[in-house]
């Protein structure tokens, strides 16, 4: 049995090791590891899995679901490529260009917009 009092404090806390902070190059990753690297919630993850817009998981047992790290990395890369290649929308403005008469209240400006 290992004497835990001789181990550094960081080794005693779950998920504190540096390896859990990065997505491995290959192998399997659990849901919590996937969620650290994608910009959406657990519910959205499963919605995308069901819609087949996210890599399909692998069931290792009744209570263990994993994804291939390579597929997650490829998916992330494909998303950034898609964003980089998408041209900006034409004919639309991202800012409110309405001119407000002097003295008009701010709440009226936004309410009438």
Q: What is the pLDDT of residue 83?
A: 72
Contact predicate 91/112, CB 8 Å: no
Q: What is the pLDDT of residue 12?
A: 36
Q: What is the pLDDT of residue 13?
A: 40
Query: What are the residues facing 29 on neighbouring strands?
Result: 67
- Give the containing element (helix H, strand E) for 73: helix 69-85
Alpha-carbon span 71 to 26, nearest angstrom: 9
DSSP code per residue over 7-33: S-GGGTSTT-SGGGGS--SSSEEEHHH
pLDDT per residue as tens, the chain (113 positions)? 455 444 444 333 444 454 457 889 999 999 999 999 999 999 999 999 999 999 999 999 999 999 999 999 999 999 988 777 767 666 655 555 555 556 555 555 555 55
Tokens coding 61: 């047992």
- Counting residues of the chain whose pLDDT is more than 70, the rounded percentage is 57
């Amino acid at each position: 049995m290992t004497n835990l009092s001789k181990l550094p404090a960081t080794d005693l806390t779950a998920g504190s090791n540096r390896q859990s902070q990065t997505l491995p190059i290959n192998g399997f990753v659990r849901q919590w590891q996937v969620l650290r690297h994608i910009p959406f919630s657990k519910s959205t993850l499963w919605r995308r899995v069901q819609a087949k817009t996210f890599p399909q998981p692998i069931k290792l047992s009744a209570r263990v679901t994993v994804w291939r790290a390579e597929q997650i990395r490829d998916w992330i890369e494909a998303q950034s490529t898609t964003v980089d290649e998408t041209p900006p929308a034409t004919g639309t403005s991202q800012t409110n260009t309405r001119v407000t008469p002097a003295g008009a209240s701010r709440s009226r400006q936004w309410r009438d917009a």
